[in-house]
Structure 1
Amino acid sequence: MIQRKVIAVIGSSVVELPDDQQQLPYHVGKWIAEAQCHLLTGGGPGVMATAGKGFCSVSSRVGLSIGVIPDGKLAGTYPNAWIE
């Protein structure tokens, strides 16, 4: 069994980030997937969702997009669409 590294992306849950702040987590998520690692986020919107979107855009990835969901969050906000 191959053990893959887990890389966490931590950031704001603000949905409406400036374009430059949306591009960075997207590319970081994509890089994590290309490095054959797992992605770990808080599973919510904003930076977490953008990193997950970049991660899941890599069709050849072997890692998983993992979200640690806070207790008491509203459905529809957590988990984001990119959590597996």
Structure 2
Amino acid sequence: MTREEQELATALRERLKIISDETSRRDPDQHIARLREISDRIQSLSAALPQPIPPRLAHFLDRRSYDKALEFLCSGGL
């Protein structure tokens, strides 16, 4: 994985942590703000990936299928 892909994978994992954070969900406004922040980070990191990116990864990122994008990155694009 390239450095950019590693950073994206880290952000995708962070998103999963936020989603599953029961404490965060008790404050809906804060929870939504955290999700927006990590989503913006994921968008920025996606745009910074070296071009061209693999078509399947591009598909997952464009459709915000972030779990699939993370799986793709962690599997080495298989």
- TM-score of the superposed pair, with normalisation by structure 2: 0.33
Instruction: Determine which structure has the larger strand proportion and give its number.
Output: 1
Instruction: Determine which structure has the larger helix proportion and give its number.
Output: 2
- TM-score of the superposed pair, with normalisation by structure 1: 0.31
Q: Which has the larger radius of gyration?
A: 2
Higher relative contact order (CA 8 A, sep 6+): 2
